[in-house]
């Protein structure tokens, strides 16, 4: 077998040989040098080679040359000889661009510390660096981390959530083993931000790639329990199926059962949830919320297997008067309102009335709505510059409207009774 030689001169050989053969023939026939010269000159002129703008041969010339080259056996040599030569060629090794190894050893004691790591290392250089942590994933969860860190209060809860995030961020979990569950419990009274925290946790797990859809489904007892025995399991399974790939958030989950465990509908619902917590542990995050005592008595007591499936348990902190003050100011700002420059609203005002604010953030929202009503009456007919500028008068009047609710009125009385009972055993 033969392989084509590499002919570096594409024009000269063919033309030289062609003209040489032509010249020899004419010498034999006429032996006239002048005739030969004239012949060459005619060819030179006819081919327009004497044109100062001549840049090369046309396509026909190229085809002729290729035919000649491919029909010449001298242009080929045995393939075995070529293989022998090429086998001795040492391949060129190109120097690969080596990434810079970055070891991140900063201590992480808060969500803020985790956020700070993303700020210390420029994202544009990630392609040139190898980190000892998953920096790409950390950057993806930065936004929900910042929202969580900005939430007022919840100091202890944020620490607990940080542990959960670090565990999954470092890929220490093994959902397929049946040992690591991401299902979560958030203990706390209404108005302490449990729903918001649950949404942010779900957002983090979505950006980590563990939850595929990123949906958040909030349900209560009426969404899960049907009117007839046997239908509850079907109804609960439908809700679970719709929640796959995201978070199923059951607020006040203790309402699903009762401490006596006499409700067969509740048993059917809770058993279905327990089964789903195992069957879909790799693509469903169930978060339940409510008072700790009630959840233990009216939810976990229904099925012994539930405890092991809800490994992560967080407690919301009791809001201080300062926290309530900050929450109120944030809600005022979010509503597009403000505090009058002539008014000073301090923490002491919230401290004096905190017994009425047992539902914390939820009460701050209700209080603001009552203050707006009081404000509307006060500024009627006044200059437009006073609109949406809350004064201390508005706040006191709004508090009075807030306390018109009978349940709110009894809160302070109930608090005083509890304090009296506590003092009896001191």
Structure tokens at 357: 């604010």
Q: Distances in Å between the alpha carbon of 387 and those of 111, 251, 337, 379, 383? A: 39, 37, 9, 7, 8
The pLDDT value given to residue 125: 76
Spans of all domains in the chain = 2-87, 110-315, 321-424
Q: What is the pLDDT of residue 208?
A: 93
The DSSP secondary-structure symbol of 318 reads P
pLDDT beyond 90 at 53: no
* Structural contact between residues 241 and 280, judged by C-beta atoms closer than 8 angstroms: no
User: Who wins on pLDDT, 118 or 20?
Assistant: 118
pLDDT tens, position by position, 305-319? 999 999 999 999 889
Q: What would the DSSP string read from start to end of 203-270?
A: HHHHHTTSSSS--EEEE-HHHH--SSTTHHHHHHHHHHHHHTTSEEEEETGGGGS-TT---HHHHHHH
pLDDT score of 423: 46
State the pLDDT confidence band at 113, using cuts at 50, 70 and 90. very high
Q: What is the pLDDT of residues 297-347, one digit of tens each?
A: 999 999 999 999 999 999 998 899 999 999 999 999 999 999 999 998 899
Whether the per-residue pLDDT at 421 is higher than 70: the answer is no
In which band, very low, low, confident or very high, does the pLDDT at 233 lie, cut at 50, 70 and 90? very high
CA pair distance 44, 379, nearest whole angstrom: 106
Confidence check: pLDDT of 3 > 60: no
pLDDT exceeds cutoff 70 at 244: yes
Band of residue 52 on the pLDDT scale cut at 50, 70, 90: low
Amino acid 360: pLDDT:
93
| Sign of the torsion formed by the C-alpha atoms of 189, 192, 193 and 197 | negative
pLDDT tens for 135-182 read 899 999 999 999 999 999 999 999 999 999 999 998 888 755 556 899
Query: How many alpha carbons lie under 13 Å from residue 65 in its C-beta half-sphere?
Result: 16
Alpha helices for 88-190 (secondary structure H): 111-120, 135-140, 142-150, 155-169
Phi-psi region of 27 (alpha: psi -120 to 50; beta: other; left: phi over 0): alpha
Separation of first and last alpha carbons in the chain? 107
Share above pLDDT 70 across residues of the chain, in percent, rounded to a whole number: 73
CATH for 110-315, among 3.90.1150.10, 3.40.50.300, 3.30.930.10, 3.40.190.10? 3.40.50.300
Range of lowest pLDDT (37-41, 203-207, 215-219):
37-41
| Lowest-pLDDT range of 269-273, 341-345, 364-368 | 341-345
Q: What is the pLDDT of residue 198?
A: 97
CB 266 within 8 A of CB 256: yes
For residue 424, pLDDT beyond 60? no
DSSP for 42-94, please give it: HHHHHTTTT-TT-----HHHHHHHHHHHHH-GGGEEEHHHHHHHHHTPPPPPP
Distance CA 174, CA 120 (A): 30
DSSP string covering 132-150: SS-HHHHHHTHHHHHHHHH
The answer to whether residue 10 scores a pLDDT higher than 50 is: no
């Amino acid at each position: 077998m033969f392989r084509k030689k590499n002919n570096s001169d594409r024009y000269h050989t063919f033309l030289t040989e062609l003209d040489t053969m032509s010249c020899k023939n004419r010498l034999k026939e006429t032996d006239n040098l002048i005739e030969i010269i004239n012949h060459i000159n005619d060819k030179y002129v006819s081919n327009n080679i004497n044109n100062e703008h001549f840049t090369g041969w046309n396509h026909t010339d190229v085809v002729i040359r290729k035919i000649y080259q491919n029909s010449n056996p001298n242009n080929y040599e045995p393939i075995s000889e070529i293989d022998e030569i090429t086998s001795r060629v040492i391949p060129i090794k190109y120097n690969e661009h080596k990434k810079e190894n970055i070891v991140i050893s900063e201590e992480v004691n808060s969500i803020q510390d985790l956020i700070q790591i993303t700020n210390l290392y420029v994202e544009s250089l990630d392609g040139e660096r190898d980190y000892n942590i998953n920096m790409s994933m950390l950057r993806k969860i930065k936004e929900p981390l910042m929202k969580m860190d900005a939430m007022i209060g919840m100091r202890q809860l944020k620490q607990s959530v940080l542990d959960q995030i670090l565990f999954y961020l470092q890929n220490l979990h093994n959902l397929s083993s049946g040992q690591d569950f991401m299902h979560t419990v958030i203990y706390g009274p209404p108005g302490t931000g449990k729903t918001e925290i649950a949404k942010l946790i779900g957002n983090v797990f979505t950006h980590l790639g563990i939850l595929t859809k990123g949906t958040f489904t909030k349900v209560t007892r009426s969404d899960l329990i049907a009117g007839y025995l046997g239908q509850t399991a079907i109804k609960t399974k439908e809700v679970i199926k719709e929640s796959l790939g995201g978070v199923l958030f059951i607020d006040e989950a203790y309402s699903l059962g009762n401490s006596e465990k006499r409700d067969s509908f509740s048993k059917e619902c809770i058993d279905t949830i327990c089964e789903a917590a195992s069957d879909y542990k790799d693509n469903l995050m169930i978060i339940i919320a409510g008072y700790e005592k009630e959840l233990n008595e009216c939810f976990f007591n229904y099925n012994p297997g539930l405890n092991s499936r809800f490994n992560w348990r967080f407690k919301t902190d009791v809001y201080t008067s300062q926290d309530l003050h900050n929450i109120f100011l944030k809600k005022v700002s979010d509503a597009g309102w403000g505090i009058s420059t002539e008014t000073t609203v301090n923490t002491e005002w919230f401290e004096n009335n905190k017994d009425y604010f047992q539902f914390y953030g939820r009460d701050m929202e209700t209080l603001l709505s009552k203050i707006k009503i009081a404000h509307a009456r006060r500024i009627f007919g006044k200059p437009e510059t006073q609109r949406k500028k809350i004064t201390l008068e508005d706040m006191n009047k709004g508090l009075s409207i807030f306390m018109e609710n009978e349940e709110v009125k009894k809160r302070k009385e109930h608090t005083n009774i509890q304090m009296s009972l506590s003092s009896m055993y001191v």
